[in-house]
Each structure stands twice: as structure tokens, then as C-alpha cells.
Structure 1
């Protein structure tokens, strides 16, 4: 099938946490024989910070916001499946409305990469543009999910709902040699966002305060003016191509979900699976559904407080961390690959096309 997707960016991970997810899903959809076009706006400086990955599995189109929408929508009208991803950042409301004009025989889907935020927005405003148009979409797909997201979307009028979790691409996320310049006891990669900052302060920065003899590494955008303990080294934005080096050079890597994701649960972010691919021990914040993905204690270590982090550092020596990392790696390869996610997305699209053929 021909799939035309509108999203924030597939070629740049700069201020774009969905990049790895887009790449994994569409790379393996392409390998299943589908033709993928991914259209993204020239916005937020992302085209000036393109990653060095191979994107030959998609036809990548970069358009000028507002100016090129007519041309992009005309091209989208030639597809079998049209996807509007959430959170593009420009022209979202216009695209969500005008994409329905191109329906014809094509399946029109909304693929949400931040379902808690979208759901909260629709509940806050009964006149929200997407809340009004969403029942006309053939399906909603979300990168997280679980019972709460499904119930909310169906209650708000979604025709069909599918959870397509983040995953592991073993060709992209894999063990590499340790880089001594990045060696540390605990690493965390994540942009500074309002609904994650308090959790980072507790689980990462306060833990560093409580463990002055340990070394901590902080990567991501926005932390430059943050007051941090002396045993925390800030390295700024880390391109996705360098994530393996960071993950494989840390004794443990930390995952900290945004507060909205932690509250709704069932939303393992890309960094969880990147670390699984590296085979490094993960310190994961606590949220509903994590044990559906990995087994706490033997495949991951769940931490709720800074004291839990300090305790994990003390109780797990190098051998213990390696065992946990290896089990984490094996489970990721068994149950959580992007090849599996792509098959799920394909099934969702085929469902939509079958339903549309009956109309």
C-alpha cells in the first residue's frame, strides 16, 4: 500500500523525541513492501540539524509551513493510507481538518505520539477542532496506550483504536565499545520539559546529590542554565547516532517519563528500547504497565525515589548490572522489535481499508 504521513520530522531528532519512533515504524513498514512518503515542515531549525542516518526507506519531503500545504495534500490524495501524526508544531489544526477533504477511498488515520496531551486538550475544550473532526478519522493509533487511552479515545468518538508501542531496531540500537570520554555510573538523556523537570530533579539530580562519589551524565536540550550538582556532567543535545555510545558507556541508564505519561501509564518511551538494544542496565521510573514490557528486578530496576537510585548503585555491582542488561536485551529482541510494531501498524491500516471498502 502507499502510505503518506505528515509528522514533525523523520530526518532530525533535534527537539523531536518522536524521530526514533517514526524511523523504526516506517523503516519496517517499508520492508514489508509498503511505499512510504513522509512530509515534514521546515521548522524549529531541524533541517539545519539533520541526523546522518540512512532514510532511503522513505520518500522524504520537506515543505514550507502554510505555503506548501495545498501541494502536500494533493500528493497525499494519491495514497491508500494518509497519516496525520500529532504534535507537528505548525499547521496542525489546518492539516487535521483539511486531510479529511482528501478522503475518497483512502483510509485517514491519526497517529498520536503524545496521547495524554491530546486527550487532556480535548477534555479541556469541547470546541477543540480535533475533538470535532476526530470521529471522521478511520482510526486512531497511539505510540503508548493501555486501557485508559483506549477508553478515552473510544468515549470521545474514535471509530477504531490501536496501540503501537515504541520498539527496538537491532540494526540501530545495539552494543558498541565503551567510550571512555562518556564513562559514568548513571546517564540520562532527555530534553528539559515542564512536566518532566520535577521528576528529573528528584530521580536524577537529587540522587546525584546523595551519591557524590558516583558520576552522572546528563544529555538533552534545555538544561544549560539548570543548577546541577558537581558530579553531574552536562553534554547537551545528543544526536540519535550517538545514543549507543552513551548507553554503552554508562554503568546504568535512567528513564524518566513525563508526568502525563507516567500518570496514564503504558507508555514506554524510545529511550527504554534504545537501552535494551545496548544491553545496559536500566533504572526506570515507576508507572502502570512497565511490568507488561519488562520484568522488574531481573530485566529492569524500577526506582521511585532518589534513595532508590542510590540503593541500586550500592547493591548492584558490575556483574549484577551486566546480568540485568543482558536479560533486558534478550526480552527486547524477543517481544519488542520495530519489525513487530510495523506488522501491528500494517494490520491496523488493513482494518481501516476493509472497513472503508464496506461503506
Structure 2
């Protein structure tokens, strides 16, 4: 298979970044696919919470269609799904198990899964939670593209029965995410939706330093934080920050914080899109620790890996402006070389071209009963 690809993607959301990290991931990837000459149809379930917060209602880099139910989606797009070079279904798609079964029944030429939540997905499957993916369905896909790499890929194939597991990390649109040149407003900040498993780390790595450094300014941006959190007076809160405002937000921080969900820490090799966005904007990053992070950014050279609040306080008070700029420059160079939407699009297209083209295979390998 040569030439431009015709790809259909069914994902959680492309139009709204409210309360999810999927939209920015899809935007960078599909923007990269568009730049590489490929054609994409994105099918998104029309749900009220995203409809009320659409910050990209009409993307110029793909066709975006909202559907109200599965029957309508199949009726209107079955021909395109069957003719496409590849169909990719994402994690957390509403009624995902039914969507996967209905799409598989159409026997597309290549059927793939893109898990932007791989560690969360595997933890859910281990609990018998099949909210958006049934364990039996992993062997249905010609390939499972995974937000997580490293050891997770072997687990997907050996324990869960995936035919082919391929790392497809998130990425950043480097044409949108770059330094704005604005003066600093905050010494340290964080961008992320509230998550109960991330909150203790946020408390340790940002809130506690804010209490100990009352002369510095801090910020936390993101929705769904409970009203009873005791934020120090020098921590500014921003309820929601649309992607268009992310570069300005990062550019106005001397340092920014990356916090990882517990399932992703346990799995390792699961970089957040926020890492790549901040680095592309030239903002030095302080991050919690997890396996695989130093394979992406060298500790002390392109990132500061903090074990506790003392490490954060040291970084905020002892790293010189020259040291801060050196950290930022090294991280940005890494992202521009390895983690842009165009790079990821080329990786995806190459992987799709290597897959067989004979439709969904009914000969499904059974998951092996072995430990991870």
C-alpha cells in the first residue's frame, strides 16, 4: 500500500478538550496526518458535556462528524468504513464495546484500537470492568496502538491476546505550541483535570512548596477540583484553559509541573501530552518519577525529576536563569526531533502499511494465562 491513506477514527472527542486529554492528542496526530497528505474522517459521539465546551467545532485538517447513536453512525458511514484503508477505534468511546462489535461486523480492511489510556484500560480489564473495551475484543484488532510503550506492549500480546501491540505515544503540534515571549506571571504551575489519584502528588510537589515559598507565585489550571481543597493564598486557580491558551500559559511560567496518574506510574513508559506541550513551549519541567521517563528526557539535563517537595523547592530557588534555559532548550530539541504530530503520523502510517489488508480475521488467538 503506497500513497495517501484514507483513515476513519472513532474517538472520545476531537471537538472539545474539556475534562479530557484525548482531544489534544488526536489534534496533533490528525494534524500531522493531514500535513503528510492523508485523509481522515473523525466520528465523535454527540454528548452534552462536550457539546457545551467545544473549542474546535470545525477543524481544518480533517472531516469531523458528530453522531447521536450507533445505528445512525453505521447507517451513514458504513460504506466509508468498509472502503477506508484503516479504521481506528479509540479508548473511552461511549458504548465502546458495542461500537467495536458493530464496526468489526463490517469487516473493514484494517481494524485497529488506539488506547490513549492503556494502563487504565488494563487495570479496568483486570477488575472485570469492560466500560469501553471487552477483553475478548483485543484479539479482534489487526493492531493495538498504545499510549504506553516498554513492557506494556509485551503484556498486551502475552496476557491479553492482542495480535500486535505498537507504541504510539501522544505528540504535540509544534506549530501551535511554542514560546510566546510573554513575561513571567508564575514561578510554578500545573495544567490538568482533577484526579483523586494525582491529587496527593500535586499536594506534595506544588501545594506544599507554595506554602513554604509564600513570596513566589503558583497556578493550577483545570476543571473538576473539589471546592473544599485548601489552596494557599499564592496559588491561583483557573477553572478551564482551552488548548489555544496553553502556549501562553506555559510561556508565563518559570517552571511547570507534570503529574502522572497512578496506573500510568505503575505501568511506566506512559508520557503525558502535557510533557510534550510544555517542552515545545520552552518551559522547563519538574516531574514526578516513573519508569521510562529518563528514556524520554535526561534527568538534570532536559527535566527535573522530583522525589518530594524539597526537590521542587531546590529547583525553584537554586537553578539559575541560565540553567533554566538549558533545561528548556534540551527538552524542546527532544520533542521537535521525536514527538511532533508529523513524526507520530509517519510512525502510524508506516505501521498501518505493514498490516495485512484482508479485513477482520475471525481466527482469534486466545489470551494466555500467564502473569504480567
TM-score range, shorter chain: over 0.9
The structural deviation recorded for 1:351 is 1.8
Instruction: Indicate conservation of the 8 Å contact 1:255/1:282, yes or no.
Output: yes
What is the TM-score with the length of structure 2 in the denominator?
A: 0.90
Find 2:101's aligned residue among 97, 103, 109. Answer: 97
Equivalent position of 1:61 in the other structure: 65
3-state SS of paired residue (1:352): coil
3-state SS of paired residue (1:286): coil
User: For 1:175-233, what per-residue CA distance to the aligned partner results, in whole angstroms no more than 9, with x for missing partners?
Assistant: 102156xx110010000012212221221212212222221100001125122111111
Equivalent position of 1:247 in the other structure: 250
Alpha-carbon distance in 2 for matches of 1:213, 1:67: 58
Alpha-carbon distance in 2 for matches of 1:193, 1:306: 19
The structural deviation recorded for 1:142 is 1.0
3-state SS of paired residue (1:93): helix
Report matched runs for 1:60-209 at 5 Å: 60-66=64-70, 68-71=72-75, 74=78, 75-88=80-93, 90-104=94-108, 106-125=109-128, 130-178=134-182, 183-209=185-211
Displaced runs of 4 or more, over 4 A = 126-129, 354-359
Alpha-carbon distance in 1 for matches of 2:358, 2:350: 12
In structure 2, the CA distance between the partners of 1:190 and 1:153, relative to structure 1 (3 Å rule), is: farther
Instruction: Indicate conservation of the 8 Å contact 2:20/2:193, yes or no.
Output: no
Q: Which has the higher helix share?
A: 1
Moved more, 309-318 or 145-154: 145-154
3-state SS of paired residue (2:198): helix
Instruction: Indicate conservation of the 8 Å contact 1:39/1:72, yes or no.
Output: no
The structural deviation recorded for 1:139 is 0.8
Equivalent position of 2:303 in the other structure: 300
Alpha-carbon distance in 2 for matches of 1:67, 1:232: 48
In structure 2, the CA distance between the partners of 1:52 and 1:85, relative to structure 1 (3 Å rule), is: closer
3-state SS of paired residue (2:84): coil
Find 2:293's aligned residue among 290, 311, 315. Answer: 290
Equivalent position of 1:317 in the other structure: 320
What is the TM-score with the length of structure 1 in the denominator?
A: 0.93
Instruction: Indicate conservation of the 8 Å contact 2:25/2:172, yes or no.
Output: no
Give the unaligned 5+ runs of structure 2.
364-372
Report matched runs for 1:251-266 at 5 Å: 251-266=254-269
Count of residues paired in the alignment: 355
**Over the residues paired in the alignment, what is the CA RMSD in angstroms?**
2.2
